[in-house]
């Protein structure tokens, strides 16, 4: 018994020593077991997701851009199917070798291809494909198709390019599309998800881009390690852009564009009662398809470097002195202020003097127009008569009255049109840093001096005359998809004596129909037109300098004519401005006559 009790402590000590030496190994074994549990149970889902991302890929499906039609459902802008070469960086291993092979295969300059690659691949998601070459030819497609298995990360994909059917004729209306820029994204962060899609840059394409563009769709695919498609898992189809029906009459637009004959200027034709724009021209123009596709950078550079600024939309952004086209409104303002009556006569000797100022304000006609009243002054465009009206009215009465007709503020037709200048004492002090003088008011009385207006503003103002007071919001969209747009009556210009609307109109009729009218050359008794000529001075000169100035075409006067008709039921109000055209009656009035005749006869 004593021997047994002596052996037990010895066995315990030996077990303790064994456990002590094995404890580090046991500890490591426990840690390993915990790590296995962590990797398989706790973090297993994360690893599976990462593994799936290498073979499961979500790609965007871009919607078709909406079509654009004219008022008669004639197609103006469409989408043309094309094949593009796309690259997914995730599957490209030797970039230089791939680019070199493509360069040789398609006979494309390597440096140009390399530059294009790095420009478009910068800051891209490596799993998101980008377009390397647009609009592949059939020959290029054939060569690539045979060799794609040797070009990992590359694929041929169908896309659409924008095509404006009537090119230069409708460029000022339709505009063009282009790649999304950083500036576009800064204005609209949502565009970041459309990075490979084009957006509208100007005109209708820009103003209605969200409607035309549609909404993205998505495709989930399984691919192998080289980017080859294994299978399509699911598809969420895109929502295509909506079609637009414009108010533009493309046949009228085409006829009037041809009549500009390469001249610089603008034209706006509007239905006074509805506000619908039937023609809108800015000349010179450009081919939007050159900018829609950018296949030839030299042609693109020619457009942007053209000194005649074809991209500048003169119809909505050109700011011109309204010249004598402003006189009917000055006359109406004077009648409303009762500073003169309809039959009041003054003597126009060809010069107007202000007390205390020895400098004469000269009229356009040597010797003047003799005895004139309001009607004769409008028909013959007497400057001296309207110098006198403006002087008596003062700028404090004149500017607020002109504002009622839309001068000095955007018409609301587009997002980025100019508002022109409707000057006042406060305006001159703020922008010029000088006080307002009587001479400023006198010049404004004939539509010169500081006042400027856009063609769309002048067209809207004359629509108010045609409507006998109703100011209708101009619009260029007749329907979006199946939804019709509605007429918006913005305001109604009320005058104390309603007869003055007819009186002003009778004078405007006389401009065309009277033997002494400044636009008597466009008389056509079948379709009666009320209108007004204008000659906007580009450079202030005296008589002796004029012939010298004429040698420089850029300093010649602008020619204006604005009219509406048929007078009995005005279908169209049209303004035409020919830059440096000199004579409104000779070059601008015939175009307006042509527009009203054509539209009236072809409604």
Q: Tell me the pLDDT band of 382, cut-offs 50, 70 and 90.
A: very high
Tokens 């009206």 belong to residue:
389
CATH code for the part of the protein at 60-173+217-246? 3.90.1310.10
* Mean pLDDT of the 389-401 span: 96
Q: State residue 21's pLDDT score.
A: 67
Query: What single DSSP character describes residue 38?
Result: I
Q: Tell me the pLDDT band of 267, cut-offs 50, 70 and 90.
A: very high
Domain ranges of the chain: 60-173+217-246, 321-513+532-560
Q: Using CA atoms, how far apart are residues 148 and 144, in angstroms rounded to an integer? A: 6
Strand partners, 157: 84
Helix (H, G, I), strand (E, B) or coil at 155: strand
Q: What is the pLDDT of residues 52-109, one digit of tens each?
A: 445 787 878 889 999 999 999 999 999 998 888 888 887 787 888 888 888 888 888 8
* Mean pLDDT of the 271-276 span: 98
- Statement: residue 334 has pLDDT above 90: yes
Q: State residue 122's pLDDT score.
A: 61
**Of 324, 382, 388, 583, catalytic:** 324
Q: State residue 408's pLDDT score.
A: 96
Q: Using CA atoms, how far apart are residues 194 and 180, in angstroms rounded to an integer? A: 8
- Statement: residue 10 has pLDDT above 80: no
Query: What single DSSP character describes residue 586?
Result: I
| Topology agreement, domain 60-173+217-246 and domain 321-513+532-560 | no
Helix (H, G, I), strand (E, B) or coil at 130: strand
The counts of H helices and E strands in the chain are 23, 23
Angle between helices 499-513 and 455-466 (to 10 degrees): 120
Q: What is the pLDDT of residues 445-498, one digit of tens each?
A: 999 999 999 999 999 999 999 999 999 999 999 999 999 999 999 999 999 999
C-alpha distance from residue 84 to each of 113, 119, 153 (Å): 14, 17, 14
Mean pLDDT rounded to a whole number for the chain: 88
Strand partners, 179: 198
Whether 324 is catalytic is yes
Q: Tell me the pLDDT band of 262, cut-offs 50, 70 and 90.
A: confident
Cα 356 from chain centre: 49
pTM: 0.84
Q: State residue 137's pLDDT score.
A: 86
Q: What is the pLDDT of residues 574-601, one digit of tens each?
A: 999 999 887 888 999 999 999 999 999 9
* Mean pLDDT of the 289-309 span: 89
- Statement: residue 415 has pLDDT above 90: no
Tell me if the domain spanning 321-513+532-560 has CATH number 3.40.50.300: no
* Mean pLDDT of the 335-347 span: 95
- Statement: residue 426 has pLDDT above 60: yes
Q: State residue 302's pLDDT score.
A: 94
| DSSP assignment string, 180-245 | PPHHHHHH-GGGGGGTTSEEE-SHHHHHTHHHHH-B-EEEEEEE-TTS-EEEEEEEE--BPPPPEE
Beta carbons of 292 and 177 less than 8 angstroms apart: yes
């Amino acid at each position: 018994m004593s021997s047994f009790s002596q052996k037990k402590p010895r066995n315990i000590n030996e077990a303790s020593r064994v456990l002590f030496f094995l404890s580090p190994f046991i500890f490591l074994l426990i840690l390993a077991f915990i790590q296995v549990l962590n990797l398989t149970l706790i973090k297993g889902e994360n690893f599976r997701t990462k593994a799936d991302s290498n073979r499961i890929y979500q790609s965007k499906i871009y919607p078709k851009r909406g079509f654009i039609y004219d008022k008669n459902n004639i197609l103006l802008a469409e989408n043309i199917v094309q094949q593009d070469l796309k690259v997914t960086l995730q599957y490209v291993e030797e970039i230089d070798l791939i680019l070199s092979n493509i360069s040789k295969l398609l006979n494309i300059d390597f440096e140009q291809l390399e530059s294009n690659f790095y420009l478009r691949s910068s800051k891209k998601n490596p799993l998101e494909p980008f377009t390397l070459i647009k609009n592949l030819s059939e020959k290029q497609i054939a060569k690539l198709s045979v060799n794609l298995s040797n070009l990992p990360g590359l694929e041929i994909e169908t896309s659409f390019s924008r095509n404006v059917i009537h090119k230069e004729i409708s460029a000022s209306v339709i505009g063009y599309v282009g790649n999304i820029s950083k500036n576009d994204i800064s204005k609209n962060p949502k565009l970041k998800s459309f990075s490979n899609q084009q957006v509208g840059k100007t005109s209708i394409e820009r103003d209605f881009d969200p409607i035309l563009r549609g909404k993205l769709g998505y495709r989930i695919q399984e691919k192998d390690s080289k980017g080859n498609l294994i299978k399509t898992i699911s598809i969420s189809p895109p929502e295509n852009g909506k079609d637009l029906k414009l108010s533009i009459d493309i046949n009228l637009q085409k006829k009037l564009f041809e009549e500009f004959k390469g001249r610089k200027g603008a034209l706006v034709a509007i239905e006074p009662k509805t506000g619908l724009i039937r023609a809108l021209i800015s000349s010179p123009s450009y081919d939007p398809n050159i900018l829609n596709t950018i296949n030839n950078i030299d042609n693109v550079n020619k457009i942007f470097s053209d000194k005649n600024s074809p991209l500048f939309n003169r119809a909505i952004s050109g700011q011109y002195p309204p010249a004598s086209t402003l006189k009917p409104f000055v006359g109406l303002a004077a009648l409303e202020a009762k500073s003169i009556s309809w039959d009041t006569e003054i003597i126009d000797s060809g010069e107007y003097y202000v007390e205390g100022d020895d400098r004469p304000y000269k009229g356009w006609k040597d010797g003047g127009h003799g005895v004139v009243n309001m009607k004769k002054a409008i028909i013959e465009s007497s400057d001296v008569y309207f110098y006198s009206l403006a002087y008596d009215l003062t700028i404090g009465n004149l500017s607020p009255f002109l504002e009622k007709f839309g001068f000095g503020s955007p018409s609301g037709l587009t997002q980025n049109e100019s508002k022109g200048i409707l000057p006042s004492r406060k305006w001159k002090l703020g922008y010029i840093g000088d006080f307002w003088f009587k001479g400023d008011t006198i010049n404004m009385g004939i539509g010169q001096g500081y006042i400027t207006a856009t063609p769309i503003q002048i067209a809207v103002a004359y629509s108010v005359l045609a409507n006998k007071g109703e100011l209708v919001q101009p619009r260029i969209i007749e329907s979006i998809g199946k939804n019709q747009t509605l007429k918006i009556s913005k305001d109604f210009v009320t005058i104390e004596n309603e007869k003055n609307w007819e009186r002003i109109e009778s004078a405007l009729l006389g401009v065309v129909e009277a033997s002494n009218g400044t636009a008597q050359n466009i008389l056509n008794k079948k379709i009666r037109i009320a209108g007004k000529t204008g000659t906007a001075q580009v450079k202030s000169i005296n008589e002796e300098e004029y012939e010298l100035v004429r040698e420089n075409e850029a300093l010649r006067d602008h020619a204006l004519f604005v009219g509406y008709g048929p007078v009995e039921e005005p279908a169209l109000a049209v303004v035409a401005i020919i830059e440096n055209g000199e004579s409104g009656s000779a070059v601008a009035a015939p175009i307006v006559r042509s527009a009203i005749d054509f539209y009236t006869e072809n409604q």
